[in-house]
């Protein structure tokens, strides 16, 4: 499979009366875009588009999703089973607007899996999104049945975000890209002899799929991954929109759709493919609730790896807590099969850093990469501008903030300053590989 992504670099984004791209300036017809999105889903009651730039003294909360605007040159939809009919992913030509993202924001209401982005100041260092121009789609819906629930599907707004990314992406269709990324994934059984002496390496992805109630989990080709069993897929499918983010997972631990589209760890695998190792693809697994479900998935991952002839594996999970059980079990069963594993995840050591980092530990998980401690506290001053609703941090059960603490008070203070756990930065631990965090001994 061969996927080509032509990159068009955006210097600035403006709202106007037409859709255009001239001299690096992306202009979006705001009225037309809003009318289109409301027509597609009559559950949307209120919608606005606001632009946030890197360095702005702006706080965005509650952030629901981020997506990269793209267009498929052959006319297929960007996210099969979501923005259009089911179509194959993983090959063909795309164009992508780089340097910006669609950022979906709740105008009033937040949820457990929603988070915070700071565009400037000390808070900007906590997320990759502060480096991008955020095209914020700020909205509300009539989904009253989940209004006061801590856990929300946010269906209408998430779907609107994906449609909006596709709407913007179409502006790139006739543009000349500045550069091109090419990802070729040859059939595993038809590779040249030069690779046969290289070690075979696979990456095991464990996207969020814990919620047995449907509508909260990541979707693969529009299919709720709670219903999913592990399988082998091409890494180019992931870059090409086969999977989108769900609404359930502590915010800093999530993989947003933007991260699936640009998964840095997978890109790194391509970088040395055929040179240092033979990249044999992705074993797409899941995260479960019951122990028999966890064991079933681990067994299937093991057997797929053995049948592919995998010599080494990377295992990475979306989340922490209950998913740590799947994450560690998968590593142990591969190690028992003679396949050494490197694990990538964040950890939950508590606010003092003294807790057990993973819910389950095993001596065989001896090569772990940490992307950060979800419990670490951050205190920041007010920002001049808030996009969304700061009160959601206190009211709506977001994963790293609270309405009352006898020592710390509430997360969003009356003066606009905040105190919260790392948990609340939207995709802030960037387990997909964007993280700029490092470690030091003290």
Measure CA of the first residue to CA of the last residue in the chain; give whole Å.
47
The backbone region for 353, taken as left when phi is positive above 0, alpha when psi lies in -120 to 50, beta otherwise, is left
Q: Convert the pLDDT of each residue in 111-121 to its tens digit.
A: 999 999 999 99
From CA 65, how far away is CA 218, in angstroms rounded? 12
pLDDT score recorded for residue 274 = 95
Q: 100 falls in which pLDDT band (50, 70, 90)?
A: very high
Question: Quick check: 441 pLDDT over 80?
Answer: no
Tens-place pLDDT, residues 270-327:
999 999 999 999 999 999 999 999 999 999 999 999 999 999 999 999 999 999 999 9
User: Which pLDDT score is estimated for 167?
Assistant: 98
**pLDDT digit string, tens, across residues 397-426:** 999 999 999 999 999 999 999 999 999 999
pTM exceeds 0.95: yes
* 18-22, 144-148, 153-157, 331-335: the lowest-pLDDT one: 144-148
**Could you tell me what percent of the chain has a pLDDT over 90?**
96
146, burial (CB in 10 Å: exposed 0-12, middle 13-18, buried 19+): middle
pLDDT in tens, 31-44: 999 999 999 999 99
Mean pLDDT on 247-252: 93
Q: What is the mean pLDDT of residues 206-210?
A: 96
Long-range contacts of 88-91 (CB under 8 A, 24+ apart): 89/221, 89/236, 89/237, 89/240, 89/241, 89/242, 90/1, 90/3, 90/185, 90/233, 90/234, 90/236, 90/237, 90/239, 90/240, 90/242, 91/1, 91/2, 91/3, 91/236, 91/240
User: Do 261 and 165 form a contact (C-beta atoms < 8 A)?
Assistant: no
For the chain, give every domain's residue range. 1-184+383-427, 190-373
How much is the average pLDDT of 192-208?
A: 95
Q: Tell me what the mean pLDDT of segment 71-97 comes to.
A: 97
Average pLDDT over the chain reads: 96
Task: Summarize pLDDT for 335-387 with one digit per residue, the tens.
Answer: 999 999 999 999 999 998 889 999 999 999 999 999 999 999 999 999 999 99
Residue 437: which pLDDT band, with cuts at 50, 70 and 90? confident
The alpha carbon of residue 138 and the mean position of all alpha carbons in its chain are separated, in whole angstroms, by 19
Mean pLDDT on 227-253: 96
DSSP string, 352-401: TS-S-SSSS--TT---EEEEEETT-EEEEPPPSEEEE-TTHHHHS--TT-
The mean pLDDT value for 171-200 works out to 95
Q: Which residues contact 402 (CB under 8 A, 6 or more apart)?
A: 394, 410, 411
| Owner of token pair 């509508």 | 215
Query: For residue 246, what are the contacts with CB-CB under 8 A and spacing of at least 6?
Result: 113, 207, 208, 209, 211, 216, 217, 218, 219, 225
User: Which pLDDT score is estimated for 149?
Assistant: 92
Question: Quick check: 433 and 424 in contact, CB under 8 A?
Answer: no
């Amino acid at each position: 499979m061969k996927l080509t992504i032509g990159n068009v670099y955006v210097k600035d984004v403006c709202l106007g009366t037409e859709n255009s791209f001239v001299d690096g300036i992306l202009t979006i017809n705001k009225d037309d875009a809003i009318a289109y999105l409301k027509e597609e889903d009559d559950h949307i009651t209120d919608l606005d588009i606001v632009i946030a730039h890197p360095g702005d003294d702006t706080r965005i909360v509650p952030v629901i999703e981020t997506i990269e605007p793209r267009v498929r040159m052959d006319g297929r939809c960007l996210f099969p089973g979501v923005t259009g009919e089911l179509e194959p992913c993983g090959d063909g030509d795309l164009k992508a607007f780089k340097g910006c993202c669609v950022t979906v924001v709740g105008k009033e209401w937040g949820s457990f899996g929603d988070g915070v982005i700071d565009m400037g100041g000390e808070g900007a260092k906590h997320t990759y999104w502060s480096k991008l121009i955020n095209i914020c789609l700020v909205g509300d819906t009539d989904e009253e049945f989940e209004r006061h629930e801590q856990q929300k599907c946010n269906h209408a707004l998430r779907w609107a975000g994906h449609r909006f990314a596709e709407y913007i992406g179409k502006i790139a269709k006739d543009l000349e890209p500045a550069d091109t990324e090419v990802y070729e994934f040859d059939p595993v059984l038809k590779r040249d002899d030069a690779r046969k002496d290289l070690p075979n390496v696979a990456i095991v992805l464990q996207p969020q799929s814990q919620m047995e109630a449907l509508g909260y989990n990541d979707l693969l080709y529009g299919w709720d991954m709670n219903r999913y069993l592990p399988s082998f897929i091409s890494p180019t499918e992931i870059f090409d929109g086969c999977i989108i983010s769900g609404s359930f997972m502590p915010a800093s631990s999530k993989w947003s759709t933007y991260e699936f589209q640009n998964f840095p760890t997978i890109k790194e695998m391509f970088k040395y493919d055929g040179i240092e190792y033979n990249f044999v693809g992705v074993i797409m697994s899941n995260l479960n609730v019951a122990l028999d479900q966890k064991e079933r998935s681990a067994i299937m991952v093991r057997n797929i790896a053995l049948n592919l002839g995998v010599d080494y594996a990377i295992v990475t999970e979306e989340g922490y807590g209950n998913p740590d059980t799947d994450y560690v079990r998968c590593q142990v069963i591969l190690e028992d099969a003679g396949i050494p594993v490197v694990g990538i995840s964040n950890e939950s050591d508590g606010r003092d850093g003294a807790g057990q980092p993973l819910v389950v530990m095993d001596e065989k998980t001896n090569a772990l990469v940490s992307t950060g401690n979800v419990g670490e506290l951050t205190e920041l001053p007010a920002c001049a501008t808030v996009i969304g609703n700061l009160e959601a941090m206190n009211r709506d059960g977001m994963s790293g903030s609270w309405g009352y603490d006898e020592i710390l008070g509430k997360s969003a203070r009356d003066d606009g300053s905040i105190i919260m756990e790392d948990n609340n930065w939207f995709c802030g631990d960037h387990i997909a590989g964007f993280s700029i965090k490092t470690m030091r001994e003290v």
